[in-house]
Amino acid sequence: MGGKAEGGRRKAEELPDRVPSPSISPPPHSAATRTGSPASLPPSAFRLPPSVSARFWFRTLGAVIVLLAPLILLAIAHRLWIRRRALVGLRAKLSGRGAALPRGATLVHGVSLGEVALMKPLLPRLGTGPFILTTTTETGTEGLAKAFPTAPRAHWPFDLPWAVSAFLRRTRPSRVILLEAELWPLALLACRAHGIPVTVLNARMTARSHRRWRLLRPVARRLVGSLALAVCQEPAYAARLADLGLPRARLAVSGSLKADMVRPATADAAASEAARIALPDGPLLLLASTSEPEEAPLLASWKRWGSEAGWRCVIVPRHPERGAALVALCEGLGLEARRTAAGQEPRGPGGAGAPRSVLIVDEIGRLAPLYALCAQRDGIAVVGGSLGSGRGGQNMLEAAAAGCCTVVGWDTVAQPDPMRLLRGAQAVVELSATSLDADLATLAADPARRTDLGTRARTAWQSGKGALDRTIRILEQPPASSPQPPAYP
């Protein structure tokens, strides 16, 4: 979900004032919500009638994409060449076909591991199902299989006309729930054409994405306006969606679900993880959910002030497949490294306990116990995606919930709600590109400050919970809906 640069930016930032947020605390009339029991959400909730116009635009846009198909396939081939291995679920994504799935279910989609994590607290509150759970990325696929091993699962298709059509014929969902920011044009048009209600939960629309959508405003109004409901993380996102054409009656604000989705690991889990990865004693610098090129300056800084002082360095990359590249990076900096996924020992003298040995945890699902271990060892957790990778930050509330001394970089635009919580509690350290080394060294030399920041961070996380209850209350108060069932071909 994504001019004139200065004027466009100014106008976009004025938009939040247009949409109030009365829905952030709707009346708690439902006993189900108050007791935490599953919400009763009828499949017809928020349904829009089938649209002949949407069918026309699906075919028109689909024809354009067919003409561009050679370029699309070339882009996929280029990515395969870069990765040197297959994309997970490539055949299913290209064709929309696959194993049989239950029809008439609620389809819940989360593009990657972070959105899959949102499903854990959300699904039990949506009733008994049936559900079909979909994702796109490799980490999302692994996370989905681990979190929901018995649930019907599938890969979300590429936005190609034949793949989307085949996927909908195969699943025939009663409704679709998208998590956060997945607005694919053909998928939205196909659902609208068949009268399948599409709801976006924890919805976001950044200023940058908004400016891009506004470049094609007529198309944007048709696509965004096809949503049955968007429950947004904050009023600014709701305002941008309204500006793109989503009627305000189908907009609500719940706050971010990120605090509700976090489940801190126990002390026992932290101890087990330390034993599993053979991590020596000592304070811990944890580089969490990092992407290229974030690790290099952090490793150089640790090498200067921490490696000889007994600080251990652990990297948990956002994409585990980068493990080998990170080993090469460490060696280029004169550091030893080992990967847990490969069962490696560090190269060079000293073994696992060598002062300059970096541990790379290139596996998914290991971050929560490592955050807990970092807090136990009075360490520093640097949350990636915020130090020049262009991602706008990863969920720093995971570190905060564990009681870590939480550190982020200068780019956290994708995490406004978590950062508002942490800044308000004075519970986060924000690095700049020029002060990164000095700030980390100062923090490493001040254990009392690290402890205070960890305590404040955990308190801030606890104060931010409650968006899940608000979301369920919103879903239990649907507007007038059409009685028609989805119209499949």
Q: Are residues 471 and 458 in the same domain?
A: no
Q: Are residues 218 and 277 in the same domain?
A: no
pLDDT at 39 over 60: no
Mean pLDDT, rounded, for 314-323: 94
pLDDT at 64 over 70: yes
Local confidence band at 479 (pLDDT 50, 70, 90 cut-offs):
low
Tally of domains in the chain? 2
Residues 6+ away with beta carbon under 8 Å from 382: 285, 286, 287, 288, 290, 298, 407, 408, 409, 431, 440
Show the tokens assigned to 318. Answer: 């956002």
Show the tokens assigned to 336. Answer: 């030893």
Predicted pLDDT of residue 305: 95
Q: Are residues 68 and 145 in the same domain?
A: yes
Predicted pLDDT of residue 361: 96
pLDDT at 319 over 80: yes
Local confidence band at 4 (pLDDT 50, 70, 90 cut-offs):
very low
Q: Are residues 123 and 151 in the same domain?
A: yes
Predicted pLDDT of residue 343: 72
pLDDT at 22 over 80: no
User: For residue 214, what are the domain limits?
Assistant: 5-26+42-261+467-475
pLDDT at 272 over 70: yes
Sign of CA dihedral 15, 20, 21, 23: negative
Predicted pLDDT of residue 488: 42
Residues 6+ away with beta carbon under 8 Å from 363: 320, 340, 341
Local confidence band at 486 (pLDDT 50, 70, 90 cut-offs):
very low
Show the tokens assigned to 109. Answer: 């989609």
User: How confident is the model over 389-429, as pLDDT tens digits?
Assistant: 999 999 999 999 999 999 999 999 889 889 999 999 999 99
Local confidence band at 384 (pLDDT 50, 70, 90 cut-offs):
very high
Mean pLDDT, rounded, for 253-278: 94
Mean pLDDT, rounded, for 112-118: 90
126 in Cβ contact with 179 (< 8 Å): no
In a domain, 33, yes or no: no
Q: Are residues 223 and 328 in the same domain?
A: no
Rounded to whole angstroms, how far apart are CA atoms 151 and 132? Answer: 7
Rounded to whole angstroms, how far apart are CA atoms 454 and 386? Answer: 19
Which one is predicted more confidently, 243 or 5? Answer: 243
Predicted pLDDT of residue 485: 44
Local confidence band at 345 (pLDDT 50, 70, 90 cut-offs):
low
317 in Cβ contact with 362 (< 8 Å): yes
Which one is predicted more confidently, 37 or 101? Answer: 101
Predicted pLDDT of residue 273: 96
In a domain, 36, yes or no: no
363 in Cβ contact with 266 (< 8 Å): no
pLDDT at 182 over 90: no
Local confidence band at 365 (pLDDT 50, 70, 90 cut-offs):
confident
Local confidence band at 218 (pLDDT 50, 70, 90 cut-offs):
confident
Local confidence band at 480 (pLDDT 50, 70, 90 cut-offs):
very low
**Closest residue by Cα to residue 378 from 438, 440, 304, 452:** 452
User: How confident is the model over 161-177, as pLDDT tens digits?
Assistant: 999 999 999 999 999 99
pLDDT at 82 over 60: yes
In a domain, 230, yes or no: yes
89 in Cβ contact with 153 (< 8 Å): no
pLDDT at 445 over 90: yes
To the nearest 10 degrees (0 to 180), the angle between helices 447-463 and 416-424 is: 120
Local confidence band at 92 (pLDDT 50, 70, 90 cut-offs):
very high
Cα 123 to chain centroid distance, Å, stands at 16
Which one is predicted more confidently, 460 or 71? Answer: 460
In a domain, 481, yes or no: no
In a domain, 482, yes or no: no
The total number of residues shown for the chain amounts to 489
Secondary structure element (H or E) that encloses residue 201, with its range: strand 198-203
Predicted pLDDT of residue 313: 97
Tell me the average pLDDT of the chain.
85
The 10 Å Cβ neighbour count of residue 89 is 19
Which one is predicted more confidently, 202 or 79? Answer: 202
CATH number, residue 443: 3.40.50.2000
Q: Are residues 159 and 293 in the same domain?
A: no
Per cent of the chain over pLDDT 70 is 84
- In the sheet where 312-317 sits, what is the strand order? 336-339, 357-360, 312-317, 284-290, 380-383, 405-408, 429-430
Q: Are residues 287 and 394 in the same domain?
A: yes
pLDDT at 279 over 60: yes
In a domain, 217, yes or no: yes
- The beta strand positions in 343-458, using DSSP E, are 357-360, 380-383, 405-408, 429-430
In a domain, 488, yes or no: no
Predicted pLDDT of residue 224: 94
Rounded to whole angstroms, how far apart are CA atoms 179 and 110? Answer: 5
pLDDT at 34 over 70: no
pLDDT at 456 over 80: yes
Which one is predicted more confidently, 159 or 345? Answer: 159
Mean pLDDT, rounded, for 16-27: 35
Q: Are residues 147 and 220 in the same domain?
A: yes
What pTM, to 2 d.p., does this model score?
A: 0.78
297 backbone dihedrals φ, ψ, rounded to 5°: -65, -30
pLDDT at 44 over 50: no
Q: How far, in Å, are 88, 164, 290, 390, 434 from residue 371 at the CA level?
A: 28, 39, 14, 23, 26
Rounded to whole angstroms, how far apart are CA atoms 226 and 456? Answer: 42
In a domain, 37, yes or no: no
Mean pLDDT, rounded, for 132-142: 92
Task: Tell me what percent of the chain is helix, strand and coil, each rounded to the nearest 5.
Answer: 50, 10, 40
Q: How far, in Å, are 263, 306, 390, 455 from residue 203 at the CA level?
A: 21, 40, 20, 30
pLDDT at 86 over 70: no
pLDDT at 154 over 80: yes
Q: Are residues 313 and 434 in the same domain?
A: yes
* DSSP structure string for 20-71: --GGGS-----HHHHHTPPP---TTTT-----HHHHHHHHHHHHHHHHHHHH
Cis peptide preceding 130, ω within 30 of 0 = yes
Which one is predicted more confidently, 478 or 394? Answer: 394
Q: Are residues 438 and 304 in the same domain?
A: yes
CATH number, residue 157: 3.40.50.11720
Q: Are residues 381 and 402 in the same domain?
A: yes
Local confidence band at 476 (pLDDT 50, 70, 90 cut-offs):
confident
Q: Are residues 213 and 360 in the same domain?
A: no
Per cent of the chain over pLDDT 90 is 67
At 340 the three-state DSSP class reads: coil
